[in-house]
Structures are given as structure tokens and as C-alpha cells.
Structure 1
Amino acid sequence: MTEAATRPPSPAKGLPPSPDPLEPLPLLRRELGTGPSGLSAREAARRLAVYGPNEVRRKARTSLGRELVRQLVHPLAVLLWAAAALAFVADIAVLGWAIVAVVIVNAAFALLQERQAEQAVETLARYLPEHAWVIRDGQPSAVESRELVPGDLIVLEEGAKVPADARLTDGGIEVDLSMLTGESAPAERVAGPGLAGAPLLQEPNLVFSGTTCTEGQAQAIVFATGDHTELGRIAALSQRTQRDPSPLERQVKKVAWLIAAVAVAMGAVFLVAGVAVGLPLTDSLIFAIGLLVANVPEGLLPIITLALAVGVRALARQGAVVKRLSAVETLGSTNVICTDKTGTLTRNRMRLQTVWTPEHGTNTGPWAGELARTGALCTTVTRDAEGRLHGDPTEIALVEGAGAHGAPIDLDSRDGGRRAVFRFDPRLRLMSVVQESEPDGAHVIVKGAPEAVVGALDGGDPTAALAAADRLAHDGMRVLAVAVRDLPEGAATPARRQEAESGLRLLGLVGLYDPPRPEVAEAVRRCHDAGVRVHIVTGDNGATAAAVAREVGIGVPGLTVVAQSETVGDQELDQLLAHSDTEVVFARSSPETKLHVADTLRAHGQIVAMTGDGVNDAPALHRAHIGVAMGRSGTDVAREASTMVLTDDNFATIVAAIESGRRVYDNVRKFIVYIFAHATPEVVPFLVFALSAGTIPLPLTVLQILAIDLGTETLPALALGRERAEPGVMSRPPRPSSQGVISRDMLIRSWGWLGTVSAALVMTAFFYVLWRAGWHPGDPTGPGTPLHHAYVTATTATFAGIVTCQVGTAMAARTDHAALREIGLFTNHLLLAGIAFELVFTAALVYAPPLQDLFGTAALSLDVVALIATFPVLVWGTDELRRWARRTRRSTNA
């Protein structure tokens, strides 16, 4: 346990020093200046001015304006701003405003998507109750929790949230500490001395801000408020951990700068070249604008955003709510999962697994039911009007287990026959009741830790019982011993627990188990097939966690158990996590330990998914690449710090999300190939125009490029983002974190193969229309010339040819290696609809008079339509041959 977790946090600079909450109570009262009547109202007001309000400071969110500016200065956006500026300089205002609109729409769309996906769930401050009961001037009264100060005497009772860190001065309560410790069972807290050397969160006389009192009543003296509480310390850890950009965000920005540099360089070189060969300045500027616009994939950012949004919706249907769009892609590169045990790998529902008796061992029989029934009588479980059991999960398991063994108990009869109850004492680790039942008379029934119970036995050798308890604990069970003592008829009820808990006879042991979810073992196997390691990071003990790990297949081929993970240093942690074939159970973990594990894995170049449900998990969830919070059992703080929330708290959902992330990543690469393939046929016409010094007229206009990039291209690209996963997606290792989303092979395929074939085809269509009209290089084609209509028709053929090439590219991009027949020609219905839309849209631009005037198009004759109708088959067919040749080479080399 780190120093921060074992000592109270220091106050802020300038404030009085914090007292030690574990010092003797009279000394603590004296240091805090608090008597039996609490503080006076005037003293409380003075301390409020000194210490400040009892609330956790919230981290300010990035302003909407700043996020909008970030979108507007993205490298691709900057390139389009430059193109718009050139358009205004060239006195082409319509084109300039069109490009500006594209930039603004892209930025607004991305901003809205991110804002919608990243809405905060709840804040840390929500964990503090609005009001608290406090004794001031000797009178109990309700005050706002934010007005509590160190030294206040507060009243805690069942159902109340603890408003500040405090030490009990009177009474006893049970507290749900799961938000801080990760353990689901309520913890007993009683007024009394502390435990020597115990971690702060396990001290039996301390309660902490934001936890909930589940039973009992007590008074406590506040020793820390606001940011000085455990809740405030964890909030500070969360705010100090920075969230780095996702791999996709970094790679897209890197590629964007590359595209920008290439486009600017090409534009500058050919602008100078155009002027040098005698082109008018206006024509040279139009050429430069065309190169910029043709090189910039305007649809890339919104289509990536839409594809990720589609992935978000698909994951939501599977039970995973993703709060950051880029996290969908990050899931696909995850190679380490650090998971909780309780509720994620297991059902979070204890059950009676086995019993052991000195006479019969673990064999079943009537004695098993009697043992279970006796243990169930030593509980405080209640049943509501609807028949549901309420109370400690362990005790609920005992009551249900008694019924399962054919010895059910009636809770009303249990309570009616109860003479005395000595509640569970965390220092003695025992609970006992004096129970009267017909016809057996009265008994003392004791249950608790086996070591504690055997110490109260009346003779006998406890060796066999302790050995059996060790075996059951090694199998992952929580072991309780049950012992009894018969009271003679007419005997007085023991007044003190020391009197009751002595002279006992051991009935046996009960083993309670939180079984793994049935689907987890298969999910772990799929993780291993996919090259993903799984570590368990839990607040539970090592034996229990290791047993669960073995049952679900974690630790194949090697499992290491760290029983006290908070004691592990940097060097040992590096050694533990450096071996790719070993999985680790980190038991008894603290908030700092989880953060330490996440940071170490990141330092080793791993992409980390970390699960958590408590406030104590927030820093690690925030720091991990993918913070996964539990939607059912998780706290609001954990959900806010995470990037993904599991609505079903199921480990298998994480694995499904990883598979979905890999599919999304593959599909992003598919539509990048599709989009980039059209850069070549858009750039080549401008190069032909410039290299010919204007003797060949410009085969394509800038507005037609925008119509392609923003109109015909978008829906098919989005449809490629909906492709189903190719076979074997979870049978390959995770991609290296250094691998770019755009690879050299992708650029060769898109720019060099698909793009070159498309460029050759569309230039063929352009020259076919001109030569058919009798054009020769250098002939004038401007307005008013005999060849002007033929020139407009030729540019329209170029435009329509690029669109039909898009159809072939879309079909080719559906697979990276496999033949199209393996996934089916008609399996992507959205793509077919997108192709239909782009063909109808193109026909409208070509044949509708209002759009002809706007985009500079003309109607195409049947022979030209027949020519460009062959382009999809030619583009797809050549790429199919290339992939066939590559598969053949690989099979031959293998």
C-alpha cells in the first residue's frame, strides 16, 4: 500500500495540519476541538472560511469555441482554406464560397459527433449527499453537506451517504465501500481502536466520503473534507492523468500533413511551370486550385467520423456504449485487457458451493443440509414483500443454500426465536446468535473465519478443519466455519459475546463461491486466439482470483499471482509485464496500483483496455487507452472517467467490442483505398493540361471534382464502413501500435493501381469525345468556338467516367486479399444503394438543365454512355487479377 493510501492527505498550503485519524480518540477530539456537543455554529462558520466548502473541485471542460477552432485548423482544413483563398484571388467567388462551406460543414459535423459521444455521465460531486445530519451546539440539525468542516460531529444511519471522511465515536454501521475498494460485501465499521498496520481503507473505525451506510447507526467525527478526502484524492489523480490522442487520430493527422505537403508542392511547382510556359495567371491559379482540391480527400474526415459513429451504434446494440468515437478504432489494436474479477468475470452473486464436516468430509448427505441450515440461522438477512432477500451477499448465499440443500429456514421464525445477536466484529472475525428453536431448545451459533472459530472450540484437533479450509480457499471459495453450543434448559442468555463464543463444537465448513459467467471462458479463448493477453486486477485476495482465472482459462500457458500488488516496485512490475506468454493476477490492488499497471503497460508499447467499477478505478480508467466501466454495478465516477461503458457488465462484451474495433479499422482502410484511388484520375487531367502548356484543354473542372468528392463518393465510402468482418479477423495478432492506418501497400494499390487504371480510362473517354468532334491539339475550345460544346461534353465524359470507375473501385475495395466471391457480390445492401444513388446523382448533373449550367456539363450520347459503362468491370477486374496473382505468389512461397 502506498503512503498516500495509508495516511491522511495533507491539507492545502496555508491550512491547519490534518490530524491523524488513527490516534487515540481523546487526543483526536482535542486536536479537532470537538466535545460531546459538537462544534458551535460560529466555530463551524469560521472553519468553513478556513478549509473551504466540502466539495470536490471539478475540472473545467474544453470550451466549445476552442474545440471548433481545433477542427477548423486541421491540416486538411488548412489546405482547403488555402484553396478557397486562391479562388477568391482568381475572382472565382462561387468556387471559394463552396470550398469554405465544405470546411465549415466538415468541422461542424465532426464537432457535433464528438460532443454527442463524449457527454459526461455524472460528476464526482454527485457522490456527496446534499444534506447531512450534524450535531452543533448540542442539537442535531440538517445542514448542507458542502458546509461540513473538520471537527463536525455527524450522525450516520441506514440508507445515508457518508458526507466526509470521519472516525466513528459511538455505535456501529455496515458501509458499502465498493466504490473505493472494489469489494462488493458491506464492511463492518464500529467505534473503537484501530488495527495496527492496516491500510487506511480497511480500518474498522473509519468511514469515507461518498460511501453508503447500509445498516446500523453511529456518530462520527469529521477529520477531512472536500479535496482532502479519499474521494478528493482520487479525483486529483484522475485530473492529473492525461488522455492521449488515439492511434487513428495521430495517424490521420500525420497523413493529412503529408497530403498537404504533396499538394502544396505540386501546386507551387506547376503554378510556376504554367506561368513559365505562357499560361495566363488566372488559368495557372485555377490549375493550382484544382491540384489542391483534387489532392485533398474532402470526404475523408466526415466519412471516418460516420464510420466510427456506425461502429458506436453497433457496439451499443451489443451492450457497449462508447463515449469517444476514436475509441472504436483503438479497440481494434488492443493487445492487453486488465479486468476486474467480481461482476465482470463472475456473476457477482455468491452461492453455497460446498460443505465440509469433520465426520464426512465434502461428501453430501443429510448433514450437509443441517450444516447449511444452522449457518443460515446465524444471519441478519431480511425478505421484502415481493420475496427478495436483502442483506450481506454472503449471508444471502447461506440462506439460499439452505433451501437448495432441502433445509430452508423461515426468517420470521428465526427472528422470533432469537434471544441475542452479536454482530460481526472485523477484529474478532466472528458473528454469533443465541437461537431458540423447537424442539431442540436454545443454542449458541457462531460463524466466521475458520482460524477464529477453531480458536473458540472446546477441545479437539483443528488441523483437519484448517487443512480443509485451505483447500477450499485455494479453489477460490470464501470459507466460513460454523460451530454451536447447546444451552441447558432454563439457562440464562449469555450477556457478553466472550461468554457466548466459547466452549463450541465445530459443525463444519461452508464454501461460498461467485461462479464465472458461462460465456467468459469462450471469450478468453478468443482473446488468446487473437493475441490479446488478459490480466486480472482486483481488490480480492489472490487465491480466489487465481481460482477464477484458472476456471476461465486465464494464465495459459503461465499464470503469476501477486498477492499484495501494492507492494510491487517498478522493476518487478516491468519484469512481470514484459513476458508476452504470462498473464498476471494482481490481488489486493489500490487505486495507485491500477494506475501503475496501466502506465507500465503503456511504457512497454501495449494498447491497454482497463475495466473498473469503483471511484478508486477512475484514475486508471482515465489513463488506459480504453477505460471500460461497468454500467450496472459501476459508479458514476467510473463511467465518467471511462471511454466505454458495458451495459451488461460482461467481459465477453469487451471481446465483442475488440472484434468490432478490428472490423471498423479494416473498413476504414477499405474506404481510404476507395477515396484515395480517385485522387489520381482527378489530378491527371490537371497535369495533362499543364504539361501540354494548354494545348490540351482542362479535362475536368474544380466544381466537378467537388461534386465527386462530396456527392457521388460519400455514400459508397460510408457503405464500405459497414462491411462485415472478413474471415479470421480474430485469428490474427493485434496490429503493432506503430502501424499506420495508411500503409505503403495501400497507397500503391489506390494511387498506383486502381488510380492509374481509372485515370487511363477517363482520359480515354475525354479524348474519344473530342476526337470524334474533329478536335486536334491546340484547337480553341472556349465559349463561342465551334468546339466548345464538344469540349463541355468531353469534360462531362471525364466526370461521369470517374464516377463509373468509383463503382469498380468500391467493389474491389471490399476485400484486401480475398476474392470478391468469397464475401458475396450482393451481401452489402447499403453499398448497392450507394452505387445506385451516385449513378442517379450523376445522371441528374449530366441531363438536368439547371445542374448543367451550374456544373458545366452536357448530355452524353449513347455511345459515350456505353463506353464508360465498361469502366466498373475493367477497374474491378484488373484489381481482382492483381489480388489473385498475389495470393498465388504467397501460396507458392509457403
Structure 2
Amino acid sequence: MAQTTTAPAEVDERRPPTELFRHLRSGPTGLRSRDAARRLTVYGPNELSRRHTRHWPRQLLAQFTQPLAVLLMIAAVLAWAGHSPALAAAVVAVILLNAAFAFVQEQQAERAVEALAAFLPLSARVLRDGVLVEAPARDLVPGDVIEIAEGDRVCADARLIDGSVAVDLSALNGESVPAVRAADTALVPGPLLEARELVFSGTSCTAGQARAVVTHTGMHTEIGRIAALSQRGRAEMSPLERQVRRATWIIAAVAVTAGAAFLPIGVLAGLGWAAAISFAIGLIVANVPEGLLPTITLALAAGVRELARAGAVVKRLSAVETLGSTTVICTDKTGTLTENRMRVTRLWLTGGERDATTVRDDGPARALALAAATCTTAHPSGDGAPADSGDPTELALIHLAAAIGVPVRATARDAARTGLYAFDPRTKRMSTVTGGRLHTKGAPESVLPLCTRVHDGSGRPVGLTDTVRAEVLAAEDRYAHAGLRVLAVAERVAGADLLAAGRETAETGLTLLGLVAMVDPPREAVPAAVADAHRAGITVHVITGDYGATAATIAAEVGIGDGQQRVVTGAELDAMGDAELDHLLEEGREIVFARSSPEGKLRVCEALRSHGHIVAMTGDGVNDAPALRRADIGVAMGRSGTDVAREAATMVLTDDNFATIVRAVEAGRRVFDNVRKFVLYIFAHAVPEVVPFLIFAWSGGAVPLPLTVLQILAIDLGTETLPALALGRERAEPGLMSRPPRSPKAGVIDRRLLWRAWGLLGLTSAVLVTAGFFWSLWRAGWQPGVTLPAADYARATTMTFAGIVACQIGTAFASRTDHAALRTIGVFSNRLLLGGIAFELVFAAALIYLPPLQAVFGTAALSGAALAFLAPFPVLVWGVDELYRARVRRRGTGIRPEEAPSCESATS
């Protein structure tokens, strides 16, 4: 009868090894190869899987169900029914262009789970048939016994059965100091990641050697659980995406209403059905800003390129705007606020404390640093290693010795070493033997009891009194309270045989040299960046897996919390109900969430978002992936961050500089303002494009149609596009980062924008364009109801087309500022806009004066008198808006974009 096995998710890995072996039907010698192969079939490979996949055909088809696309499809069908195949083809081309831009924008690859898989090593040392062999990591199964040694990456969740190791858990819990794991530790209740007998997939062994029995593989591991969390939910639309979608529905409603209302009017006015259909198509096309979505996409892409040059790689275009809406930054500590490397800051010696950054010609301090650096196994870069390798604490000791002037070369240290007592997680110390001298370093409570003497102020060994012991313990408490990690360093001079006789014999009768206190220091640019964030009205919370005292100290140093930080531990957070957490966050204080779990980070993120905040979540570890994905903006560190965090995040900081986040927020605010500017610019042209059709309908056809549909398309996709893109690169107005974050409810389109676009710039342009059209008719001798010769009619419609182009130039300059005078940013400072206007004029001239294009677009050459008539149009349009903004400034009633009512309230 086949032997059954227990599903890995049901294994209680914290039970004693004998019970665990019995439960897993395994033993200290591991599994037989045939049993392992059978279990691999049952449990599946030791790798991470995806919950769902993306289907690009469905995404592509979705682009054709957008409101604007549906409207244009209706227009194309009407054009085909009205026997206008060229017009139908032109509208279909517009639909395809918009769909292509939108589809490319949404093709962000979601490779977070694949990056998580990179944390699993390719192979592992496993006992099979009682023999230690190398096996592919994907073939491990529950019940396998694996060997873990210094430098190995753990490839499955396992319970230690022999030996002890120090494990770097920073990718899972955010702590920069390696954690001690041993096989014979007593069972202590608490979080799973803190269990002293367990090791986890994706972590690294920094010291020691042990054997462990595999308890969970693949998606049942802790890293697999995080992978499942990172897949929870789908990416949501950014504020800009929601607002643009809302705006498209408004535009669609306006176009449908206009078409439904005026089509019967045209028929009743005596127009034929063909003319009425042409009229309806023109009305729909005039109301639909065909270039809006592509222009927004390209403008955001320009923002992405600019941020990339500044050190921030944004993977989703709309995230640029979301950054500008950020109200809260939830930042990790290790590697984000700090440098993710230990640095010695204080030394304690019998004669007093020393500042490790300034001490040089001090004999006792040099002896302390030399001994500490000698008692290491790490290799700094350039000393037998291409990059720093080893325990960050030991690297800090080696750098300290070099800075004081007693450098220790790793290669020479290893060659001279005659003995090594590796770091023992139980005793919390390690020792090295070089000839007749033993050096020991470790936790003060472990080293101090072994000491009988201490170096005095001159470096001579004297008896260790109770008074000095009390001073050592007081210094340790003082450093620990300040968030520093403390090591005691001692030595012993004796015969080589005695020092090699075993640990218990060698590590006695030590002479205490002093204490070394170190910290993972804040990044140099972080305090200024935090101050800038506060000035911009952004709240900064710290969410870290590190200890509360350490995190609070770092937060205070960089200016988070203004010295009044509240520390909430992971256990306290877990015990809080949702209402209590909501109340805590609503107080407005900056909080340090310490010892946080991935679920805790998610809870805080979701609570903040439920309050209407736009949350930017920073992180660099595997444990940060779910929260990075859930946040409005996930910000990962590019250098020190894991592949998991980089793939789950929306933005990656290539320079690991917290200040880059603030620069990105500023860029996001400017992008939002610029989106408003070119939306204003595009919307303003709807009025002069619609008015000619209204004149045509209201006159019952007595007034010829002032503009053709193809001319409208030439305006919307030809003359309009480049100036709109140039407005997307406009410089920021004064005081951009001194105003509070924009309300998440504030829309791109608000009442003031619509008034400026339709009631001021649009109406002014419509009056001027209509005047130019009737002036051209008057010169041709036209009378109502009289059919014009084809040449005269072409010149009249061309006058309308050219008038709209001329008004576009004035609108472009008027749109450059929302509140300030144009002179504050420089009339000619936007060279891209000047280039866009130049292209606009050349393009319009080509349509007007080149015979092949005249035949397609129904245009005719304009005379010098006509051009003179059009020349004042730009100045008049810009001047009207400049006077309006000046009046608003004088009254002091200007509405900033972040204060404007939402698009919904604007249309209510």
C-alpha cells in the first residue's frame, strides 16, 4: 500500500525534531531517492507560481469599448452610410491610433512573482539515501534534510536539527542585523519569523553550519505566502486615469446630446438626410478631442524620461501624476532612511568614551580597533573580494580599523590565523587565534563574565573591579537606548597549545579592551528631503521590521515626528481593531510602526487609503512586495533593494536616494498642472469647431457649412498636437512645492477650467473665427441662400480653418499659466512650444497652399489681405485671458488647481 504524506501547509514546524520527523515520515538521514521523487509528484516543484495571467487580446479589445472610441465608431458608420468612405477611413484611423497608444500604455509587465523565484538558489546540499549530494532546489520536498553553511542561501522553510547559524533575514523582516538560529533552543511563543529554531526560504546564512529538515516548499513557504499576498487584488486606476475616464464620459454625453438634439433640427430645417448625417458626424467629431488621450500619454512619457534622468524609473505612466497627489509616504528604515550598512560611532574605554569618527592617535582605541578587526571573517571590497562580503557588523569593524590607522588586510589576517571559534548563537560570541593571541568579540553580557582584567587609560592590563563592570553595563544600556548595537572586545595572550585546546579552555581569563557601538546611519540627503516633504504638506510614517528604539532614533535624526514619535510595535498593531487604527492615523501624528509584518504594512496602507490618502510606500525587501503593490505608489530601492521589491513597485530609485522621492513628487505636481494646461488648450478649440455647425443648422442650410469634417481632423490631429505636447513640458509656476497636496477629489477638469476653455478662450475664438468666415463670404459677394462657386466656398472654409489655427496660437500662450502672469515664467522660455507653433504654421500652410493637399482637405490659397485679417487673432485671444487672470489676482480670489471642485461637482 502506498505511503501517504501530509500536505506541507499542515505541518507544525515548531514541534520537537523527533515529533516532526515522525509527522513528516522522515529521519535524520533524510529521504530515499524514490520517496523524494514520489513526494515531488505530490507536492510539486519547489518554486513560486502565478495565480493568474494577463490576456493581451482582451486588453487590446478593451481599448475599443472606451466612450470616445464608441463615439468615433458611430461617426465612422454614419460617414459610410452617408457615402463618405474617405471620411469613414479617416475616423477609423483615429480610432486605431488612440487604441494603439492606450494599449501600449497598459502593457506594464507584472513580474513580481518571477523575481521572487530568483531568491531561490539553483541547488542545495541534501541528504538522499544517507549521502550528502547536490540537488536542484526545485526538487526539494518536505522531509528532506539539507545542510546550510556560511554563504548559502536557504532554499526552503526548514527546522534546524543540528548546529547553529546566523541568518540574514533582512529581506523578510527588514532587520539589518543577522538573527541567530539554533537547533537546541527552547520553544518560545511568538511570531513565526522570530522562532529561533526555524530558517526560511530566500534568506542567507552569514555564519555557522547546521542541518535542517524541510517543512514547507514552493508557495507554502513564507516567501510563497508573500508572493500570494503580492498577487492579491488588481492594479487600480490612478487619480488621473479615473478623472480622464470621467471626463470622457462627460464629453461623450455632450456629443450624444448635441447630435441627438441638432440632427432632427437640421432635417426639419430643410436639409436632406445626407446633409443631416454629415452635420451629425461633424458635431460628434468636433466634440471629441481625438488627440486628448495620445497627448496625455506622450506628456506622461516625457515626465517618465525626465524622472529617469533624475534617478527615478517609473514603470507606469500615470504614476507620474499620482506622485504629485501624494499625501502620505510610508517609508522603510533599513536601506531607505539608512545606508543599510553598519558604521561604528562610539568607543568605550576605561579612560572614557571616544568618538569613533575623530579618534586617531589613541593607543587604547587603536588596540581595541585592531583586535576587533582581527576577530572577523568578512572580506571588504578590493581585499580579495570584488565587493563587500560577509557580516555587515564585521565589515564595520574592518573599516573602523582602517580609519583609525591600523588597517587589517583580510588576506593577511586569514593567512596568519591559526584557530577559529566560529560565532556561537547560544553564547553570542566568536574568537580567533593568531599565534599566541586570542581575540574575542560578542555581546557584552557574554564576554564580560569571561574577563578578569581590563586595559586602563594607558593601555596596561589591570584587575577588573565591580565598579568598572558597572560602568561597562551602564555604557551598554546607554548605547542600546540610543539605538546602537554594542559589542565587547577582549583578548588573551597565552601559549598556542592552550589556545587551541578548545573553546571552554581558550575563552577564559580574558582582558577587556572596550566596547564598540555601531549604527546603521541615516542617508546624508534624507533630513533635507523629509523637510521638503513636510513643507509640501506630506506626512511621513516609518514602517519597519526593526526594533522600535532603533527606528525611533533614526526617525528623530532625520526629522520625522518632530521629536514626538509614537512607536507602535507589530504586536500592538495586530491587537488593534480597525476603528482603533483609524483613530490613530487620523490624529495626524507621524508614527513609527516597528517590528511590522507584511500583513501589518498592508493594513496600514489600506487604512490610509480608506481615509482618502494617496499613499507612497517605500521598501527594499521581499517583505515589502505586497504593500508596494497595494500602495498608490510603490517605491523600491534600485541598488540595495531586492528584485522582488523592484518588480512589485511602481517606481524604482536608481540612486537609492530618499530625496529623489521628493523630486518625483514635485515633478508629479508639475505634470498634473501641465495636464490641466493642455486639456484647457484642447478643450478651448471645441467651441470654434462646434459653432460653425450650429450656424449651418440654425440657418437651415442658408449659411454654408463653415468647416469640413476633414479640416476638423486636420486641426485635432495635426496643428493641435505638438503645441499641446509642449505645454506638457512647461516649467512649474512659482510656489509649486509650498502648497498642500491636491485633494484626491480635485479633478483635472473643474468649473474654472471649463469656464476658461469654453466661456472665455473658446467663445472669444468662436467670435473671431466666425467673423473671418463671414468676412470671406462678404468679399465673395455671397447672399443667404445663394450657392457659392466652389473656389469661393473653399476660400471661406479655409478662412475658418486658418482662423482656428491662429486662435490656437493665442490659446497656447494663455494656457501656459493657470494663475500667474505669463511674464513670471518667461514669454519665450518654452522653446518646445515655439517649435510646435512653427510646425503648426508650416502644417497649416501646406494644407492651404499645396495643391495635392488642397484637393484632399478642400482648402484654397489665402490672399495677403486675409492673412492680415487673421494676424491679430493670437494676441486678442491671449490678451483676453491675461486680463481675466490679472483681474482674478487683483481680487485675490484665484482658485488653485488643488482647491478646485471636482469634475462631478462642475457638471452637477
How many angstroms does 1:711 deviate by?
A: 0.6
22-31 or 279-288: bigger deviation: 22-31
**Higher mean Cα deviation, 746-755 or 500-509?**
500-509
Which stretch has the larger CA shift, 193-202 or 414-423? 414-423
Unaligned runs of 5+ in 2: 453-464, 897-908
Question: For 2:741, what is the secondary structure of its paired residue?
Answer: coil
CA distance in 1, matches of 2:725, 2:552: 45
* Residue 695 of structure 1: how far off its partner (Å): 1.3
**Structure 1 residue 475 displacement after superposition:** 3.2
Matched, 1:630 2:630: no
| Map 1:450-469 → 2, pairs under 5 A | 450-458=444-452, 460-461=466-467, 462-469=469-476
> What is the correspondence of 1:505-654 to structure 2 with a 5 Å cutoff?
505-556=511-562, 558-564=564-570, 566-569=573-576, 570-580=578-588, 582-654=589-661
2:48–2:113 contact (8 Å) kept in structure 1: no
1:392 aligns with 2:391: yes
Counterpart of 1:475 in structure 2 is 482
Q: CA deviation at 1:517?
A: 1.9
Matches within 5 A, 1:323-342: 323-342=315-334
- Change beyond 3 A, Cα 1:314–1:892: closer
Q: Quick one: structure 1 residues 117 and 807, their matched pair in 2 at CA, closer, same or farther if it must change by over 3 Å?
A: farther
Aligned to 1:822: 824
Question: Which secondary structure does the structure 2 equivalent of 1:738 belong to?
Answer: coil
Match for residue 378 of structure 1 among 375, 380, 385: 375
Match of 1:7 in 2: none
On the 8 A contact 1:241/1:622 being kept in 2, the answer is no
For the 8 Å contact 1:241–1:619, the answer to whether it is kept is no
Give runs of aligned pairs for residues 77-88 of structure 1, distance below 5 A: 77-88=69-80
Q: Distance in 1 between matches of 2:281 and 2:843?
A: 24
Aligned to 2:892: 890
Aligned mate of 2:441, from 447, 466, 470: 447
How far apart are 1:410 and its partner, in Å? Answer: 4.7
Taking structure 1 as reference, are residues 110 and 800 closer, same or farther at Cα in structure 2, changes over 3 Å only?
same
SS in 1 for 2:230: helix
Residues 652-674 of structure 1 show CA distances to partners (whole Å, capped at 9, x for unaligned) of: 11111111111111110000000
Counterpart amino acid of residue 857 in structure 2:
F
TM-score by length of 2: 0.91
User: Counterpart of 2:176 in 1: which secondary structure?
Assistant: coil
Distance 2:379 2:160 in 1: 26
- 1:382 positional shift: 3.3
Alignment of 1:774 onto 2:781: yes
Q: Distance in 2 between matches of 1:592 and 1:228?
A: 16
Task: Please give the per-residue CA displacement for 1:709-735, whole angstroms capped at 9, x wherever unaligned.
Answer: 001000000010011122211111000
CA distance in structure 2 between the aligned counterparts of 1:557 and 1:687, rounded to whole angstroms: 65
Mapped contact 2:48–2:224 kept (Cα < 8 A): yes
Aligned equivalents of 2:535, 2:717: Cα separation in 1: 40
Q: Is the 8 A contact 2:696 2:705 kept in 1?
A: yes
Once the two structures are superposed, residues 852-878 of structure 1 have per-residue CA deviations (whole angstroms, 9 ceiling, x without a partner) of 111111111111111112111110111
Contact in 2 for aligned 1:204/1:426 (Cα 8 Å):
no
1:769 alignment partner AA: S
After TM superposition, give the deviation of residue 296 of structure 1 in Å.
0.5
Q: Does 1:282 align with 2:279?
A: no
Are 2:60 and 1:68 equivalent residues in the alignment?
yes
Give the drift of 1:249.
Answer: 0.8
- Residue 9 of structure 2 contacts residue 216 of structure 2 at CA under 8 Å; is this kept in 1? no
- CA drift of 1:760 comes to 0.3
- Matched-pair contact (CA < 8 Å) for 2:50–2:113: no
Aligned residue identity for 2:403: A
Alpha carbons 1:450, 1:469 under 8 Å: kept: yes
SS in 1 for 2:489: strand
- 698-707 vs 141-150, greater mean Cα deviation: 141-150
Counterpart-to-counterpart distance in 1, 2:110 and 2:228: 21
User: Could you say which residue in structure 1 is the equivalent of 2:34?
Assistant: 42
Cα offsets for 1:384-412 (capped at 9, x unmatched): 33686532111111121122223333545
Task: Give the TM-score taking structure 1 as reference length.
Answer: 0.93
1:431 and 2:430 correspond: yes
**Cα displacement (A) at 1:146:** 2.4
Cα distance, 1:488 vs structure 2: 5.1
Q: 1:292-303 residue pairs with structure 2 within 5 A?
A: 292-303=284-295
Q: CA deviation at 1:16?
A: 6.7
**Cα offset, 1:700, TM superposition:** 0.6
Quote the Cα distance in structure 2 between the aligned partners of 1:488 and 1:828: 78
Q: Deviations over 1:560-612 (max 9, x none)?
A: 222446545234432331122x2111121211111111111111111000011
CA distances 1:670-689 after superposition (whole Å, capped 9, x unpaired): 00000000000001111111
> Which is worse superposed, 21-30 or 187-196?
187-196
**Paired residues for 1:204-219 under 5 Å:** 204-219=196-211
Bigger shift: residues 272-281 or 862-871: 272-281
Deviations 1:136-174 (A, max 9, x none): 222333433322211012233454432211123334444
Q: CA deviation at 1:84?
A: 1.1
Name the CA shift for 1:256/1:891 in 2 (closer, same or farther; >3 Å): closer
Alignment partner of 1:180 is 2:188: no
Q: Distance in 2 between matches of 1:807 and 1:121?
A: 50
**Inter-partner Cα distance in structure 2 for 1:831 and 1:117:** 34
Following the alignment from structure 2 to structure 1, what is the Cα–Cα distance between the partners of residues 292 and 895? 36
Q: Is the 8 A contact 1:299 1:710 kept in 2?
A: yes
Deviation at 1:624, TM superposition (A): 0.3
Pair 1:35–1:475, CA change in 2 (3 A)? closer
Q: Does the C-alpha gap of structure 1 residues 670 and 882 become closer, same or farther in structure 2, counting only changes over 3 Å? A: same
Amino acid at match of 1:251: Q
Give the letter aligned to residue 54 of structure 2. Answer: T
Partner of 1:4: none
CA distance in 2, matches of 1:66, 1:543: 51
Q: 1:419 to 1:160 in 2, by over 3 A?
A: closer
1:764-787 deviations in Å (ceiling 9; x for gaps): 000000011111222223xxxxx4
Judge conservation of contact 2:9–2:220 (CA < 8 Å) in 1.
no
Are 2:147 and 1:152 equivalent residues in the alignment? no
Alpha-carbon distance in structure 2 between the residues aligned to 1:675 and 1:120: 38
Q: How does 1:780-859 map to 2 (within 5 A)?
A: 780-781=787-788, 787-859=789-861
Shift of 1:432: 3.3
Pairwise CA RMSD: 2.5
Q: Is the 8 A contact 1:18 1:223 kept in 2?
A: no
What is the distance in 2 between the residues matched to 1:768 and 1:158? 88
- Secondary structure, counterpart of 1:361 in structure 2: strand
2:884 is the alignment partner of 1:877? no
Correspondent of 2:338 among 342, 346, 349: 346
1:216 and 1:475 map into 2 onto residues whose CA distance is 29
Q: Per the alignment, do residues 143 and 94 of structure 1 end up closer, same or farther by CA in structure 2, a change over 3 Å counting?
A: same
Distance 1:464 1:120 in 2: 50
Give the partner amino acid of 1:704.
Answer: Q
Would you say the 8 A contact 1:117–1:325 is kept in 2? no
Q: Percent identity?
A: 60
The structure-2 alpha-carbon separation of the partners of 1:466 and 1:571, relative to structure 1 and needing over 3 Å to count, comes to farther
> Is the 1:118–1:323 contact (alpha carbons within 8 Å) kept by the matching residues of 2?
no
Look up the match of 2:868. Answer: 866
The amino acid that maps onto 1:797 is M
Q: In terms of mean alpha carbon deviation, does 878-887 or 370-379 score higher?
A: 370-379
AA partner of residue 139 (structure 2): E
SS of aligned partner of 2:51: coil
Give the match's secondary structure for 1:763: helix
Q: Distance in 1 between matches of 2:372 and 2:392?
A: 14
3-state SS in 2 of match to 1:432: strand
Amino acid at match of 1:334: T
